[in-house]
Structure 1
Amino acid sequence: MVRMVDCVKLGRTLPGLEQPPFPGALGQRIFDHVSAEGYSLWQPHMTIMINHYALNPADPETRKLLRNEMEEFFFGENARLPEGWAPPGAAPSKGAPAPQRK
C-alpha cells in the first residue's frame, strides 16, 4: 500500500517517498512531510543553484549550504531562485534583452 503524506511543498495529500532521502533529522522531516512529487522538484532547483554559483558538491561548505537551501525550499517561506537567474532562452531580469535568434 502506498504511504500518503500531506505535502507541505504542493499543499495536498500525495504518495510519499519510499524511504527518507538521506539520514538525519532533515531527511526524516522530508520523508514525513514531502511527497515524492514534491521531492522531485528539488533536483532541478539544486542543479540551478550549483550551476549558477559554480558550487562544488564535494565541498563540505557547499553541502551545508545546499542542505540549508533544501530546508528553505521545502519548509521556508522564502524559497527562491538565484538573483539574476533566468531559464535558458528567457529574457534576463536586468540589463540588455535576450539575444534574438536569426
Structure 2
Amino acid sequence: MAHMVYCVRYKKEMEGLDEPPFDSDFGQKIYKNVSKAAWLEWSERQKMLLNEYRLQPWTPQAQQFLVEQMQEFFFGDGAALPAEYVPPKS
C-alpha cells in the first residue's frame, strides 16, 4: 500500500515518497508532508538552480543553499526564481 500524505505543495492527499530523502529531521518532515509529484517538481527546480547559479553540489555552501531553497519551496513562500532565469521555450 502506498504511503499517503497531505501534500503541503498541492494542498491535497497524495502519494508520498517511498522513504525519507535525508537521514535527518528535515528528511522526516519532507517524508511526512511532501508528495512524489511535489518532490519531482522540486527535483526540476533544483536542476535549474544548480545550472543558473553554476553551483557545485558537493560543496557545503551549495548544499546549504539548496536546503534553504527546498525549505522555502515546500514550507515557505515557494522560493523565488533567479532574476536572470529565462524559462526554456516549449
Range into which the TM-score falls when normalised by the shorter chain: over 0.9
Number of residue pairs matched?
90
1:13 and 2:13 aligned: yes
> For residues 5-84 of structure 1, what are the structure 2 equivalents within 5 Å?
5-84=5-84
Partner SS state of residue 84, structure 1: coil
Deviation >2 Å, runs of 4+: none
Question: Which amino acid letter does the alignment assign opposite residue 36 of structure 1?
Answer: K
Question: CA-atom RMSD, angstroms?
Answer: 1.3
Structure number with higher helix proportion: 2
Shift of 1:80: 1.9
1 or 2 for the larger relative contact order (CA 8 Å, sep ≥6)?
2
TM-score (norm 2): 0.92
TM-score (norm 1): 0.82
Q: Which runs of 5+ in 2 are unaligned?
A: none
